[in-house]
Amino acid sequence: MQFLAQTFSGNFAVSIAAYAARGGFKCTIIIPSERVKELNLGKLYQIIAYGAK
């Protein structure tokens, strides 16, 4: 496996991004349009910092 994808679910999405970065995997976090209003920008910034898209 070389690629991880996950729908945005807060802490879990951040964890997946962190583990993917540690393992050298590419990672994409998908944010469904209905979840954008409840998006926590702190978690989004963490995901970006780990290199996920």
Q: Tell me the pTM.
A: 0.78
> In this structure, which amino acid lies at residue 42?
G
What tokens appear for 43 in the block? 């978690």
Does position 51 have pLDDT exceeding 90, yes or no? yes
**What is the pairing mode between strands 3-7 and 26-30?**
parallel
pLDDT tens, 5-37? Answer: 666 678 888 999 999 999 999 988 888 888 788
pLDDT band for 3, please (50, 70, 90 cuts): low
Q: Which of 49, 34, 53, 40 is nearest to 11 (CA)?
A: 40
Looking at residue 32, its pLDDT comes to 82
